[in-house]
């Protein structure tokens, strides 16, 4: 693999997954704090109240980022730290991110900030959350403060992280906060997230006249049919509509896919929430496109499923999440985006894997994660050889953290976190990533030997 000098390497985290400091310095509760308290929702009822204690240990974490040698670090702001109550700005909340951003820059690391990575304040949820169209205005209040206070130091803005998860896992499937199972709510919630995205892009460019690049991050899953049968093809079309097209089409084509609108209409009472002009705003041009890629989907027809598909048996090697390891399908995905959707520079804003890590004599030999990362970086390098213009890669994640409904059971970090002591231990994958970054993919060595001096 090989990466040119302009390609950027980074690592990524999000506020609720690492910060802790649940009620400190004016923070109020988010929907993830309350969701974690509901029995049966999160593995062993874990929560992010302490998490990686990053709020107090960010200096140490910055040193780790620096030692990895990456150019950029992607993190998100906690909305309930900045607006603990409706319309009430908390200076200490924004001050934390100013401090963090400033320190990153002093250490030569470019901050990439995500405005929304799922921790909606409870006050907003109590007024209907994303289902309420007013959420767009609440989000813009957050965006405005962040632009005012942080824009001069920020390298790039990401409006939303994975509206599929926040919208469909949160309001349709119920596996994420707020845990609702209502498709009508889900499509409204997604619409308001996408609308707030478009308006936040407009605000940065028009009101702030800012040149800072801004984009959105979608999680995309290339979908394949188990067989060539018409039924399985239909299943794949619907799964693709539900996972990918429902987000790609509005953002790049200014319309929701009609086949999916029809399919969803069994549960969606009316599409009257789409107001005149909304779709143009959602499709406001951005500067780059962020993609989180983890796995492919293999599906087959199922009459029992609302949208006629279900996951099919796959014999691929899997990560600790049970997800197929599928770097070739990652390439298919990017090629499709180029053919059907966009010429914008692409950034892989998340990619990584969970495995069952063990600490042995102070080391974590996570060879499977090393292999996963190498395969996906090789894919990025191949894609760029084809002219696909992938300009950066953020590894998920800098360190083990609160993995949503899986709590601390799933470890995605390249740095191990001992959640009893908060000790951080570099895994072999961290050494290997540092080596790749340093050599820009030019040279291959055996992890854990010559790289240990990094
Ligand atoms: C993505 C999320 C991120 C993390 C990874 C494993 O869906 O954006 O917060 O949980 O998955």
Confidence of residue 452 (pLDDT cuts 50, 70, 90): very low
Active site residue 360: no
The string of pLDDT tens digits covering residues 244-267 is 999 999 999 999 999 999 999 999
Q: How far is the CA of 394 from the centre of ligand 1 (A)?
A: 12
End-to-end CA distance of the chain: 20
The alpha carbon of 168 is separated from its chain's Cα centroid by a whole number of angstroms, namely 14
Are 55 and 96 in contact, with CB atoms under 8 Å apart? Answer: yes
The string of pLDDT tens digits covering residues 4-14 is 999 999 999 99
The residues that bridge with 240 in the sheet, in sequence order, are none
pTM of the full structure: 0.97
Q: Which atom of ligand 1 is nearest to the CA of 217?
A: 8
The three-class DSSP label of residue 9 is strand
Exactly one of 350, 374, 403, 435 is catalytic; name it: 350
- Evaluate if residue 134 carries a pLDDT over 70: yes
Closest CA to 354 of 274, 427, 412: 412
Closest CA to 74 of 43, 46, 113, 28: 113
User: How many CA atoms, within 13 angstroms, populate the side-chain half-sphere of residue 330?
Assistant: 28
The residue count of the chain comes to: 454
The pLDDT assigned to 447 comes to 52
Q: Which residues line ligand 1 (CB under 6 A)?
A: 14, 17, 161-162, 165, 219, 292, 350, 396, 403-404, 412
Active site residue 368: no
Q: Which atom of ligand 1 is nearest to the CA of 161?
A: 8
Taking CA atoms, 29 is separated from 40, 214, 321, 342, in Å, by 20, 28, 28, 38
Which of 402, 403, 405, 413 has the most ligand 1 atoms within 8 A of CB, as the residue to mutate?
403
The pLDDT assigned to 437 comes to 98
Chain-wide mean pLDDT for the chain? Answer: 97
Q: How far is the CA of 12 from the centre of ligand 1 (A)?
A: 10
């Amino acid at each position: 693999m090989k990466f040119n000098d302009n390609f950027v390497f980074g690592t990524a985290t999000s506020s609720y997954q690492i910060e802790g400091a649940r009620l400190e310095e004016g923070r109020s509760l988010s929907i993830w704090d309350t969701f974690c308290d509901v029995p049966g929702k999160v593995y062993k009822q874990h929560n992010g109240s302490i998490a990686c204690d990053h709020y107090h240990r960010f200096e140490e974490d910055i040193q780790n980022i620096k030692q990895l040698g990456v150019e950029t670090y992607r993190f998100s702001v906690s909305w309930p730290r900045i607006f603990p109550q409706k319309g009430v700005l908390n200076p200490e909340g924004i001050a934390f991110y100013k401090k963090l951003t400033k320190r990153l820059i002093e250490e030569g690391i470019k901050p990439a900030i995500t405005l929304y990575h799922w921790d909606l304040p409870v006050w907003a949820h109590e007024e209907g959350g994303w289902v309420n169209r007013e959420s767009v205005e609440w989000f813009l209040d957050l965006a405005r403060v962040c632009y005012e206070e942080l824009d001069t130091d920020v390298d790039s803005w990401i409006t939303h992280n994975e509206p599929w998860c926040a919208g469909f896992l949160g309001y349709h499937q119920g596996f994420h906060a707020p845990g609702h199972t209502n498709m009508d709510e889900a499509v409204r919630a997604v619409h308001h997230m996408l609308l707030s995205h478009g308006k936040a892009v407009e605000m940065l460019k028009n009101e702030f006249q800012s040149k800072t690049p801004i984009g959105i991050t979608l999680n995309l899953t290339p979908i394949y049919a188990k067989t060539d049968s018409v039924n399985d093809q239909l299943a794949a079309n619907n799964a693709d509509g539900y996972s990918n097209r429902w987000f790609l089409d509005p953002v790049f084509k200014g319309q929701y896919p009609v086949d999916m609108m029809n399919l969803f209409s069994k549960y969606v009472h009316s599409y009257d929430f789409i107001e005149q002009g909304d779709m143009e705003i959602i499709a406001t041009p951005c500067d780059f496109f962020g993609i989180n890629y983890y796995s492919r989907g293999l599906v087959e027809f199922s009459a029992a499923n609302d949208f006629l598909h279900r996951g099919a048996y796959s014999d691929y090697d899997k990560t600790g999440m049970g997800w197929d390891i599928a770097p070739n399908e990652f390439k298919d995905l990017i090629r499709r985006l180029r053919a059907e959707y966009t010429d914008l520079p692409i950034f892989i804003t998340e990619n990584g894997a969970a495995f069952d890590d063990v600490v042995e004599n102070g080391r974590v030999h996570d060879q499977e994660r090393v292999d996963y990362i190498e395969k996906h970086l090789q894919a990025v390098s191949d894609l760029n050889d084809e002219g696909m213009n992938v300009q950066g890669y953020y590894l998920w994640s800098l360190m083990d953290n609160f993995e949503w409904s899986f709590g601390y059971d799933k470890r995605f970090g390249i740095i191990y976190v001992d959640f009893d002591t908060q000790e951080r231990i570099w895994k072999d994958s961290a050494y290997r990533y540092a080596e790749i970054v340093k050599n820009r993919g030019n040279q291959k060595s055996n992890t854990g030997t010559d790289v240990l001096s990094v």
